[in-house]
Structure 1
Amino acid sequence: MAIENKHPLEQQNSPDRNGSGGSNGDGNNASTRRRNKPRRDGKGSNTKTNNPVTAQPSNSKARRSGKGAGKDSQALATQATDPNLATGDAADDAAAQAEGGIKAIGNQRIIPFMKIEKPMAILSLLMVIGSIIAIAVNGLNLGLDFTGGVSADVRYEQSVEQVDVVNALSDNGFDDAVVQYLGTSQELLIRLPPQSDNVDGLNTSLTKALTLADNNVEISNVNIIGSQVGSEVYLNSVMSLALALACMLGYVALRFQFKLSLGAVMSLFHDAVVTIGVFALFGFPFDLTVLAAILALIGYSLNDTIVVYDRIRENFRRVRGITPRQTIDLSLTETLRRTIMTISTVLLVVLAMLFLGGDGLYWFSVALFIGLIAGTYSSTYIASSIPLRMGLSRDDFIVKVKPEFEEEIVTFNDPKMFE
C-alpha cells in the first residue's frame, strides 16, 4: 500500500501478469481484452510486438514491399498469425546464394566480384609482365611521326580512292606509304619512309607516281622530317603519358582518398601498358594517332573508375553492418548496369570507325578497342581490389571531430531518484 500511495501513476499504467493493459478506470476489472488488431501507427499488434521470432521477418518483408502504410500493416498482421512466412527470408537467402549473389540489403542481390580477385590479380600481373617483355624484345613499330620521313599534300581533279593511290606509289617504288583524306576525297596527305634529301627530284618522282588515268594530280607541299625531330616527338609522347598518370594520381587523392588514388593509377598504367604491349607483340604500327587513342583511353578508364569510387564512398557512409569486401561488391553490382551500357555504346562507335573510318582511323580504332576491354576489366578488379588490400574501411570516409571540438558529456546521478 505504501508503494501504491507513493507511485499511483506507476500502478495505474503497469500491465498485469496476463499481458492486459493497465486499468485506467476500474481497478477491479481483471478481464481486459488483448489487442489483436494492428496499431494505428502501422507497427503491428501486441502479439506480434511481444514475439521476437515473428517480428524480424515481418520488418524485412515490409521493407522489401515498398508499398503504402496500409498494405504494410496488413502484411505485418498476416505474418504475425502465419508462422510459415517466417522462413521466407531463409529461402530467399538460399536462393540468392545458389545464384551466386549475397542478399545483404533489402532485396539487393550482390554479385561477389571480389571472390575471384586473386586469380584476376595474377592474370593482370602476367599481362603486364608479358607486355613489358614484348616491348623490350620486339620494340614498337614506330610510324613516320617518330622515325621521320616525307609528307606531301596532294590534290586530284576528281575523287580518288586511298587504295588506288597506295597501289600507284607501291608500283613506282614507294613502299609503306600512308594515305589519309584531308577533308574531301580529292585532297590527301601522303606520308612515306625516309627518302633522298633532294626535294626537287623527290617532287618529280612523286608527281609521276601519283598520276592516275584521267585524273591529274598537283603536289602543293613536300616536307622532309628528320629522325631528330621524330626522336623529340617520341620523348615528348612518353613524358605526356607520365604527366597524365601523375595528374590522375593527384586528382583522385584530393577528391577521394589516397588508397583509391593508387588503385586508379595502377589500373590506368595497366590499360596503357597492355595496349602498347599488344601493338609491340603483333608489330602493329605505332604513330601519333595510336598515342592519341591511348591518352583518350586513360580519360575514359578514369571516368569509369571515378563512377565506381563515388558509389564505394557513398556505400561506406550509408550502409552499416557489412564488411568492406561486401561494400565494394555492392558498389560494383549497383554500377554494373551503367558500365555495361557505357561500354556498349562506346564500342559501337569504335567498331564503326574500325570498319568504316578508312586507313586513317584504323589503328586508332584498334588501340581504342583493345584499351576499352582492358579498361572495363581494370575498373572492376584492379582499381577496387588494390584499395581493399590496403585496408580500405569506413573510417577512411568518415570525418572525425577534433578533440578540441568535442562536447563534454556531464551526467548527474541523484541517489534519491531510485528510492
Structure 2
Amino acid sequence: MATENNNAPNNTPTPSGSGDGSGNNSNNTNDNNQRRRRNKPRRDGKGSNSKTNHSGNAKSNKNKSRRNSSHSVDKSSKALSTQADDVNQEIDSAADEAAAKEGGIKAIGNQRIIPFMKLEKPMAILSLLMVIGSIIAIAVNGLNLGLDFTGGVSADVRYEQPVEQGEVVQALADNGFDDAIVQYLGTREELLVRLPPQSDNVDGLNSSLETALTLADNTVEISNVNIIGSQVGNEVYLNSVMALALALVCMLGYVALRFQFKLSLGAVMSLFHDAIVTIGVFALFGFPFDLTVLAAILALIGYSLNDTIVVYDRIRENFRRVRGITPRQTIDLSLTETLRRTIMTISTVLLVVLAMMFLGGDGLYWFSVALFIGLLAGTYSSTYIASSIPLRMGLSRDDFVVKVKPEFEEEIVTFNDPKMFEQD
C-alpha cells in the first residue's frame, strides 16, 4: 500500500484547481517546449533559425555593400583597358569562328605524337650532302644523254611473226649497229628501233638496216626512217630544262596563293631536291637519260607536290584548331596524322613502279627506275624538307588566322543651317 501511494501522484494527473499541480504542469510544458525547440535543426549550433537568418542577412548586406564599393573603384581603374580588351575579344572571336569552320577546337588527348622534328638537323645535313653530291656528279660525269637529245636514227619495223627485243638487238650488233634501243609499239610484231648518229645517206641506211634486221624465217618491213640531227637534239634538251624550271615556278605560285609563302618556299625546295637527286643518281651511275626519264621526273614533281599539299593542309588545319602547343609540336602532330596515308600511298605506287620495272620491258625500264628513285626521295622530302624550312622561317598560328582590325572611330559632323530653325 505504501508503494502504491508513493507512485500515484506521478501516474495520475492533479486537478487544475490546486496550486501545486498547476505549477508543476506549467514547468513541465516549458521544459517540453524548450526540448522541442532544441530538437529543431540549427544552422550554426548557437541559436535559433530566426536569429541565424537575421545575422546572415546582415552579414550578406555588409558584404554586398563592400563589394559594391570595391566594384565602383575597380570600374574607374579598369576604364582605360576596356578598348584593348574589346579588340582582343574580337580577335579571339574571329579565331574561334575560323576554328569552328574547321570543325571545332581539336583536343589532342592521349594521342601519341611521333617527334619527327627531333631529326630535323641530321636530315637537313643529309639533304645538303645529297644535293651537293648530285651537282658534283652532274658537273663531273655529265649525263648519258639518249638519242632524243644527241640525235640519231629512228625507224619503225614490222615483222610477220612475233620477235624478242634481245634477238633484234643482237642482230643489229652483229651487223655493226651498236648501242641500239628496241621498243615494242603495241604488239610484238611492231617495233621502234633507235640507233646512234649514222651517215646522212637514207637509201644506203635503209638497205643496210633491212639486211641487219632480217631474221631466219621472218621477213621484215622498214618504214618511217628518220634522221635526227644534233641541233634538234640540243633544242629538245634546252626545252626540257625550261619545262622543268617552269614547272617549279608554277608550283611556287600555286602554293603561295593556296596556302602561305613560307610553305611555298619549302615545297619548291623539296621538289628541287627530288629532281636534282634523281638526275644526280643517273649521272653518277651513267644511266641513259632520255625523254622517258624526263617524263618520269616531271611526273615525280606532280606526285611529290600532291603529297606535300596533303601535309600542308593538315598543318594549316591544326594551327587553326589546336591550342596550347608550339609550332614544332603542331607540325609533328600533322605529320603523325598523315603518316598512315603516306605509307599507304607510297606502298601502292611502288608496287606499280616495280611491276613496270621488271615486267614492262626495256621501253619502260629507265622510266621506272627514275620513278623509283624519285618516290623514295619525294617521301623523305615531304616529311622533312617541306616541313622544316617553313618552321625555320618562323611559321606560326598567326600565319593562318585572320586578324580583325579595330574599327576606326567615325568623326561626327554637324551642320548648323539657320534655315533648319526657321518656323513657318
Q: Is TM-score (shorter-chain normalized) higher than 0.5?
A: yes
Q: Which residue of 103, 106, 110 maps to 1:107?
A: 110
| Structure-2 change in CA distance of 1:303 and 1:226 (3 Å) | same
Where 2:112 maps in the other structure, the secondary structure is strand
Q: Which residue of 201, 205, 208 maps to 2:208?
A: 205
Is 1:255 the counterpart of 2:258? The answer is yes
Is 1:230 the counterpart of 2:237? The answer is no
Query: What's the counterpart of residue 144 of structure 1?
Result: 147
Query: What's the counterpart of residue 4 of structure 1?
Result: 57
For 2:111 and 2:301, the matched residues in 1 are separated by 32
Is 1:166 the counterpart of 2:169? The answer is yes
Deviations 1:336-379 (A, max 9, x none): 00000000000000000000000000000000000000000000
For 1:223 and 1:365, the matched residues in 2 are separated by 27
Query: What's the counterpart of residue 281 of structure 1?
Result: 284
Q: Counterparts of 1:67-106 in structure 2 under 5 Å?
A: 105-106=108-109
Q: Which residue of 352, 366, 369 maps to 2:369?
A: 366
Is 1:242 the counterpart of 2:242? The answer is no
Is 1:394 the counterpart of 2:397? The answer is yes
Where 2:222 maps in the other structure, the secondary structure is strand
For 2:365 and 2:343, the matched residues in 1 are separated by 24
Runs of 4+ in 1 over 2 A off after TM superposition: 5-8, 402-407
For 1:334 and 1:406, the matched residues in 2 are separated by 46
Where 2:188 maps in the other structure, the secondary structure is strand
For 2:409 and 2:280, the matched residues in 1 are separated by 55
Query: 5+ unaligned residues in a row in structure 2: which ranges?
Result: 1-53, 65-106, 411-424
Is 1:314 the counterpart of 2:367? The answer is no
The alpha carbon displacement at 1:405 in A equals 7.4
Query: What's the counterpart of residue 302 of structure 2?
Result: 299
Query: What's the counterpart of residue 198 of structure 2?
Result: 195
For 1:221 and 1:7, the matched residues in 2 are separated by 106
For 1:249 and 1:334, the matched residues in 2 are separated by 25
Is 1:384 the counterpart of 2:390? The answer is no
For 1:359 and 1:276, the matched residues in 2 are separated by 19
Is 1:270 the counterpart of 2:273? The answer is yes
Give the structure, 1 or 2, with the largest relative contact order (CA under 8 Å, sep 6 or more).
Answer: 2
Is 1:131 the counterpart of 2:134? The answer is yes
Amino acid at match of 1:167: Q
Deviations 1:294-342 (A, max 9, x none): 0000000000000000000000001010110000000000000000000
For 1:266 and 1:136, the matched residues in 2 are separated by 20
Amino acid at match of 1:229: V
| Structure-2 change in CA distance of 1:406 and 1:214 (3 Å) | farther
For 1:313 and 1:292, the matched residues in 2 are separated by 32
| Structure-2 change in CA distance of 1:406 and 1:129 (3 Å) | farther
Where 2:328 maps in the other structure, the secondary structure is helix
Where 1:213 maps in the other structure, the secondary structure is coil
Amino acid at match of 1:146: F
Amino acid at match of 2:326: T
For 1:405 and 1:194, the matched residues in 2 are separated by 75
The alpha carbon displacement at 1:124 in A equals 0.1
Query: What's the counterpart of residue 346 of structure 2?
Result: 343
| Structure-2 change in CA distance of 1:189 and 1:406 (3 Å) | farther
Query: What's the counterpart of residue 404 of structure 1?
Result: 407
Amino acid at match of 1:365: S
Where 2:282 maps in the other structure, the secondary structure is helix
Deviations 1:360-411 (A, max 9, x none): 000000000000000000000000000000000000000111233799xxxx
The alpha carbon displacement at 1:183 in A equals 1.0
Query: 5+ unaligned residues in a row in structure 1: which ranges?
Result: 12-103, 408-419
Q: Report percent identity of matched pairs.
A: 90
Cα root mean square deviation, aligned: 1.8
Where 1:186 maps in the other structure, the secondary structure is strand
Where 1:360 maps in the other structure, the secondary structure is coil
For 2:119 and 2:409, the matched residues in 1 are separated by 43
For 1:290 and 1:296, the matched residues in 2 are separated by 10
Deviations 1:59-86 (A, max 9, x none): xxxxxxxxxxxxxxxxxxxxxxxxxxxx
Where 2:364 maps in the other structure, the secondary structure is helix
The alpha carbon displacement at 1:221 in A equals 1.3
| Structure-2 change in CA distance of 1:405 and 1:235 (3 Å) | farther
Amino acid at match of 1:177: A
The alpha carbon displacement at 1:287 in A equals 0.0
Query: What's the counterpart of residue 160 of structure 2?
Result: 157
Query: What's the counterpart of residue 375 of structure 1?
Result: 378
Amino acid at match of 1:374: A
Q: Which has the larger radius of gyration?
A: 2
| Structure-2 change in CA distance of 1:405 and 1:273 (3 Å) | farther
